[in-house]
Amino acid sequence: MRVLALLDGTLVDPETPLFRADDLGVTRGDGVFETILVADREPRELAAHLDRMQRSARLMQLPLPDRAAWLRAVQAVVDAWPWDQERELALKLVCTRGIDGGDGTPHGFALGSSIEAGTLRKREQGVSAVTLERGYEPDLMERAPWLLLSAKTLSYAVNMAAMREAESRGADEVIFTAADGSVLEGPTSTVVLARGDELLTTPPSSGILEGTTQGALFRTAERAGWRTRAEKFPVADLHSADGVWLASSVRLITQVRSIDGSPVRADPQLHAELARLYESNYGTG
Amino acid sequence: MRVLALLDGTLVDPETPLFRADDLGVTRGDGVFETILVADREPRELAAHLDRMQRSARLMQLPLPDRAAWLRAVQAVVDAWPWDQERELALKLVCTRGIDGGDGTPHGFALGSSIEAGTLRKREQGVSAVTLERGYEPDLMERAPWLLLSAKTLSYAVNMAAMREAESRGADEVIFTAADGSVLEGPTSTVVLARGDELLTTPPSSGILEGTTQGALFRTAERAGWRTRAEKFPVADLHSADGVWLASSVRLITQVRSIDGSPVRADPQLHAELARLYESNYGTG
């Protein structure tokens, strides 16, 4: 099931072409996006996603359409979704820089899609991950903003290639590492580990995307007495942790069961506690 | 002027949308492309471009439509171009991975566009360049093929951001440098320098795109008695060279006049010689 809305709130057939061949989104991956979970009509972390899309756009000097337009498109998809058939959808917001050599008008849409079977399986059964080099030093981001390390751009070919590399190694997911061996992020997720009464994640200053789902988890975990920290840590810490998770909007708080072929601690009770803390952010929690 | 052809050779209106919102080219920059100069009906280095697109596709595990389809689309654009009005065009070949969750059919086109005024100015007057960090070690490519360093993918947001960074510094072009300080390439060009009777460029093993225009120049330069070499070199070599050029299909052999605000040697006779050597590859030379 796919439901597509334009920024004026109009619904259009998702199978009808929408982008010209000379749109910079097509020819240059020049644009930004967000993927949002909508569960039981509630778009989760919508404000955080829209804030992050605005930050991505600013880093790219892309004139993002205003928030009202995005909210209109989101509402149009939510209103048109067949809730009697499916109680969740993955909502993608996309904005390209528009026509190459055109008047600079950006081109955006909101597309709701059914949750894929593979995603449901990852949520329920957890995942195997491999570490892959990302190639840069964690201090690069501040020195080299043109590398867009903290922007969620449409240029995701490397993220997709890394996922294929994982599959070719018989794994489900990737954990990127920096040139200094520290842990960065997944191609489409944030790494979280538990250690005693502490939850740890990589700081955005390492050139990773600030995680909306990880943010939601940390928010309620703090209230429940967990200490939370964003700090650089080496791959070895994944292996010695009490648990490792990949947080993403649609896969939620996915438990990691093995890394590079070695099992990591995967306590079902600890997993259930984190999942419950995350869910407690929402009406369904 | 824009002329658009599909891979079956059909011409379509370039202003009519061609890509669905859920095409992986739009949502993930997941695809490959080439830009080819067509001058006086002759597509320059067409075989080298198609070979490179095939290499890019292989690195991305993208099933590229066969060569006959691309040749058909190229011919359709060339045949439809208004040659009485414009004697050159920039021909972009694009292939995306097709619909997300679809049957895996790639989606391609050939788009001919007029040469932009800014490009003509760069050809004639040369350019100022700034060096910008690309962030990785030159030996990364062989270790980490998932980073697609030698593939020409549609994920060019960083290349475009680097060009904006150059403009914000009052420069026309970028020369990327590796973490070890060696010279890599431009965002859409290959770096060439002259030193005595030698032409030097960065080796593809440093994780750069193999240059078709640089290749054409080196081919005729060798015949004319130049020694040519692909070898790593530091930024300092740009400043001590007899001349520095950025080679690209549409901007041709563009003379670099300054780097990071310092003038570099820019001998008009040497430039004319290299331009002539490059042109001698073609019917118009």
- Six token digits for residue A214: 């990880």
Q: Which of A259, A253, A149 is nearest to A201 (CA)?
A: A253
Angle at the Cα of B95 (from A146 to B208), degrees rounded to 5?
A: 45
Which residues, 6+ apart, have CB-to-CB distance to A216 below 8 Å? Answer: A44, A45, A48, A278, A281
> How is domain B120-279 classified at the CATH fold level?
D-amino Acid Aminotransferase; Chain A, domain 2 (3.20.10)
Query: Is there a contact between B154 and A156 if contact means CB atoms under 8 Å apart?
Result: no
In order, the DSSP letters of A202-225 are: --GGGT-PPPHHHHHHHHHHHHTT
Q: Between the CA of residue A283 and those of A42, A44, A216, what are the distances in Å?
A: 8, 10, 13
Q: Any idea which residue has 């070199």 for tokens?
A: B233
B281 touches chain A (CB under 8 A): no
Residue B37 is inside which H or E element, if any?
strand B31-39
pLDDT (tens digit, 9 = 90+) per residue, A152-198? Answer: 999 999 999 999 999 999 999 999 999 999 999 999 999 999 999 99
Residue at B73: amino acid letter: A
Give A10's contacts in chain B (Cβ within 8 Å).
Answer: none
Phi, psi angles (nearest 5°) of residue B82: -80, 80
Angle at the Cα of A204 (from A198 to A206), degrees rounded to 5?
A: 100
Per the CB < 8 A criterion, the answer to whether B221 and B214 are in contact is no
Per the CB < 8 A criterion, the answer to whether A116 and A135 are in contact is no
Collapsing DSSP to helix, strand or coil, B111 comes out as: strand
**B9–chain A nearest CA distance, Å:** 15
Query: Is there a contact between B146 and A140 if contact means CB atoms under 8 Å apart?
Result: no
Q: Give, rounded to a whole angstrom, the gap between the first and last alpha carbons of chain A.
A: 25
pLDDT (tens digit, 9 = 90+) per residue, A74-129? Answer: 999 999 999 999 999 999 999 999 999 999 999 999 999 999 999 999 999 999 99
The b-or-e profile of B183-194 (16+ CB within 10 A means b, else e) is bbbbbbbbbbbb
The model's confidence at residue A284, banded by pLDDT at 50, 70 and 90, is low
Size of interface A-B (CB pairs under 8 A): 192
- Please give the average per-residue pLDDT across A1-20, as a whole number: 98
Please report how many Cα atoms fall inside a 13 Å half-sphere around the Cα of residue A50, on the Cβ side.
16
B140 touches chain A (CB under 8 A): yes
Residue ranges for chain B with pLDDT beneath 50: 285
- Six token digits for residue A7: 């920024």
Distance CA B154, CA A33 (A): 16
Q: Where in chain B is the domain with CATH 3.20.10.10?
A: 120-279
Q: Where in chain A is the domain with CATH 3.30.470.10?
A: 2-115
Query: Is there a contact between A135 and B136 if contact means CB atoms under 8 Å apart?
Result: yes
> How is domain B2-115 classified at the CATH fold level?
D-amino Acid Aminotransferase; Chain A, domain 1 (3.30.470)
Eight-class DSSP state of A253: E
Give B155's contacts in chain A (Cβ within 8 Å).
Answer: 29, 153-158
Q: Which residues pair with A153 in a beta bridge?
A: A32
Eight-class DSSP state of B183: B
Query: Is there a contact between A2 and B15 if contact means CB atoms under 8 Å apart?
Result: no
Query: Is there a contact between A133 and B144 if contact means CB atoms under 8 Å apart?
Result: yes
pLDDT (tens digit, 9 = 90+) per residue, B124-152? Answer: 999 999 999 999 998 998 899 999 999 99
* pLDDT value of position A18: 98
Rg (CA), chain A: 19
* pLDDT value of position B285: 44
Q: Which of A108, A1, A91, A103 is nearest to A54 (CA)?
A: A108
- Six token digits for residue A238: 């994944």
The model's confidence at residue A285, banded by pLDDT at 50, 70 and 90, is very low
pLDDT (tens digit, 9 = 90+) per residue, A140-161? Answer: 988 999 999 999 999 999 999 9
User: Which of B146, B165, B173, B180 would best serve as a mutation to test chain A binding (most A beta carbons within 10 A)?
Assistant: B146
* pLDDT value of position A155: 97
Rg (CA), chain B: 19
Give B59's contacts in chain A (Cβ within 8 Å).
Answer: 161
Per the CB < 8 A criterion, the answer to whether A38 and A93 are in contact is no
Burial of A257 (0-12, 13-18, 19+ CB in 10 A): middle
Distance CA A131, CA B60 (A): 19
- Six token digits for residue B50: 């198609």
Burial of B182 (0-12, 13-18, 19+ CB in 10 A): middle
Q: Which residues pair with B177 in a beta bridge?
A: B133, B183
| Sign of the dihedral through C-alpha B28, B31, B37, B42 | negative
* pLDDT value of position A190: 98
Which residues, 6+ apart, have CB-to-CB distance to A205 below 8 Å? Answer: A138, A139, A141, A142
Residue at B36: amino acid letter: I
Residue A70 is inside which H or E element, if any?
helix A67-80
Please report how many Cα atoms fall inside a 13 Å half-sphere around the Cα of residue B21, on the Cβ side.
25
Eight-class DSSP state of A241: S
| Sign of the dihedral through C-alpha B214, B215, B221, B222 | positive
* pLDDT value of position A283: 80
The model's confidence at residue A275, banded by pLDDT at 50, 70 and 90, is very high
- Six token digits for residue A170: 């018989």
Per the CB < 8 A criterion, the answer to whether A251 and A172 are in contact is no
Residue at A203: amino acid letter: P
Distance CA B211, CA B200 (A): 12
* pLDDT value of position B283: 81
- Six token digits for residue B61: 């595990």
B17 touches chain A (CB under 8 A): yes
B176 touches chain A (CB under 8 A): no
pLDDT (tens digit, 9 = 90+) per residue, A209-250? Answer: 999 999 999 999 999 999 999 999 999 999 999 999 999 999
Distance CA A232, CA A250 (A): 25
